[in-house]
Amino acid sequence: MIFKDKVTVVTGASQGIGETIARDFAAEGAVVVLVDIQKEKLEAVAASIKAAGGRASVREANVAAFAQAEAAAASVVQEFGKIDHLINNAGITRDNLLLRMREEEWDAVVAVNLKGIFNFTKAVLRSMLSARSGRIVSLSSVAGAMGNPGQTNYAATKAGVVGFTKSLAREVGSRGVTVNAVAPGYISTPMTLGLPEAVKQSFLALIPLQRFGEPADVAKAVRFLCSDDAAYITGQVIHVNGGLYM
């Protein structure tokens, strides 16, 4: 168990990649704090982690709301005394061609995918800096690296995650905190299941490893970045995309 007694906060943990990361870290011995806006699903994931012998706690919070992020982080420090890992995973899409994109679609994606990362990172950072130790991993996307029609809003935020990651890595490296990103390609989750079949097939044709990714493929990269083996890695982006972008 590589994360025995570590405290891991995972945003967007009620389904998809975030849920898988939470289960993975719990299986490695971490106390996982699951953050999401979907309370019932959160409770169900936490219950199933506990049933499997893990330790989990839930915080219902909207990552886009700074006060909610602060309150959640403060309550974690109060209950568990520290935060070792922050996984900024919560994210949404509101796809549309730019000509048709409504202001609300732009704003919603920026609020969750970008401001959400600012909010939660700022909320946990002081505790990590005082401990002179911490790991922050944020979810970027292949769309942020190579672009994707219909996703100007989403791609802008996911490229923004990379700039945020590199800048913060330079700010806090001297205090023992590493900051990295994982950029998944096409992963089978509720976010992508609704895409039209033709779009899925066109992506598949571009993936050298000839399959879509699974949430576990992403969770393993996040696990590595939070492990002792990644102690000398900061400001990096690990692409987990089957070769879709290289």
**Known catalytic residues?**
154
Nearer to ligand NAD, 173 or 190 (CB): 190
Q: How far is the CB of 189 from ligand NAD (least distance, A)?
A: 3
Nearer to ligand NAD, 134 or 185 (CB): 185
Nearer to ligand NAD, 62 or 180 (CB): 62
CA–CA separation, 19 vs 216, rounded Å? Answer: 10
Residue closest to 46 by CA, chosen among 37, 36, 58? 58
Own/partner pairs, 108-111, CB within 8 angstroms, 24+ separation: 109/153, 109/154, 109/157, 110/153, 110/156, 110/157, 111/64
Q: How far is the CB of 97 from ligand NAD (least distance, A)?
A: 19
CA–CA separation, 219 vs 222, rounded Å? Answer: 5
Residue closest to 227 by CA, chosen among 15, 24, 76, 13? 24
End-to-end CA distance of the chain: 32
Three-state DSSP state, 246: coil
Residues in contact with ligand NAD by CB under 6 A are 11-12, 14-18, 36-38, 62-64, 89-92, 112, 139, 141, 184, 186-187, 189-192
Q: How far is the CB of 36 from ligand NAD (least distance, A)?
A: 4
Nearer to ligand NAD, 64 or 221 (CB): 64
Q: How far is the CB of 64 from ligand NAD (least distance, A)?
A: 5
